[in-house]
Amino acid sequence: MTGASKLIDGRIKELGDWRGEMLARLRAAIRDADPDAIEEWKWRGVPVWSHDGILCTGETYKAVVKLTFAKGASLDDPAGLFNSSLEGNMRRAIDFHEGDKVDARALKNLIRAAVACNQAKSKKKAPARAVAARRKKA
């Protein structure tokens, strides 16, 4: 278990209410959708999940647990999960309130789409690096 994972465990326990339970359920869905996702702890206490770039963050507020997708505007959301930060050019978020149900299947599909989006962007960058490396050898 990484240091970030321990910090996320601590945040879930520290919340001790519906927000901690919700964050734990969201975390489980993320891990299930992408077992290779890396847990990070950034910006003075925000859980972050990454795979070839940031997938999403899990912020907790008094009345909401917010799952923000870094490249959410680029993702298809056929289930209509995104309900916050809809005006941005890049990110989209899902606000979960006390008592909300989690559509685990749709959430996992968004996570997988975010991974695919990140991987597509990293593959586009890879050839440029390979060309630069070949030029150095020549």
Q: What is the C-alpha to C-alpha distance for residues 138 and 127, in angstroms, rounded to an integer? A: 17
pLDDT digits (tens, 9 = 90+) for 1-42: 679 999 999 999 999 999 999 999 999 999 999 999 999 999
- What's the pTM value of the predicted model, to 2 decimals? 0.85
Question: What is the percentage of the chain residues whose pLDDT exceeds 90?
Answer: 81
Architecture category of domain 3-137 in CATH: Alpha-Beta Complex (3.90)
**Per residue in 103-121, pLDDT tens?**
999 999 999 999 999 999 7
pLDDT tens string 37-67: 999 999 889 999 999 999 999 999 999 999 9
Q: Please give the residue that has the higher pLDDT: either 81 or 131.
A: 81
Q: Do the strands 46-50 and 38-42 form a parallel or antiparallel pair, or are they unpaired?
A: antiparallel
The bridge status of strand 38-42 relative to strand 65-69 is: unpaired
